[in-house]
Amino acid sequence: MSNNYRGAQFWIRAWWPVALSAAVIAFESTACFGADRTSGPLRAIWQALFGSVSAEQWLILGHLIRKVGHFVGYGIIGLMWLRAWHLTLPRLKILPGVLLALLGTALIASCDEFHQSFIPSRTGSPWDVVLDCSGAAVMCLAAWGITRLTRPRRMGQLSAG
């Protein structure tokens, strides 16, 4: 067998975070996690940490918390895709890897919003897909920037830069 053979353990290790994140999104996309069911518990947590808020304030805060959740959650999903592509195709340059991660994130986000459009207590929004992809883009580009800053430079690059 050649050294390039990759067994099932390799593929599971590389891709299980992507599969798990897709499963979490599918679970959160159900009626159980709609605003009508989660607003009360989220508000209780917010008030326990930061004090009382009026109903009008909570309408804005609850909406912002959900949108930040989209941005951060899908940013993490983008990183999971980037990791999987990096492990699967180690010679792939980082920017094409980021593009593949964004494509994967867009696929999950689009499926999530499409699914939600069929649930009476939920809504599917293309703007959420844009927000989700923005979170993935920011996180993946931050990862790219960090790797550029922390990667050891080659000797030839030291004299050029």
Is residue 30 included in any domain, yes or no? yes
pLDDT at 5: 65
Q: Distance of CA 109 to CAs 91, 101, 131, 159, 160, Å?
A: 27, 12, 9, 44, 42
Is residue 157 included in any domain, yes or no? no
pLDDT string in tens for the chain (161-residue length): 445 568 899 999 999 999 999 999 999 988 888 888 899 999 999 999 999 999 999 999 999 999 999 999 999 999 999 999 999 998 988 889 999 999 999 999 999 999 999 999 888 999 999 999 999 999 999 998 888 888 776 555 544 44
Please tell me whether residue 11 adopts helix, strand or coil conformation. Answer: helix
Show the domain range for 17: 9-148
User: What sign does the dihedral 109-112-117-122 (CA atoms) show?
Assistant: negative
Is residue 2 included in any domain, yes or no? no
Is residue 91 included in any domain, yes or no? yes
Q: What pTM value is reported for the model?
A: 0.84
pLDDT at 34: 86
- Give the count of domains, the chain: 1
Is residue 104 included in any domain, yes or no? yes
Instruction: Tell me the two tokens of residue 79.
Output: 């990183």
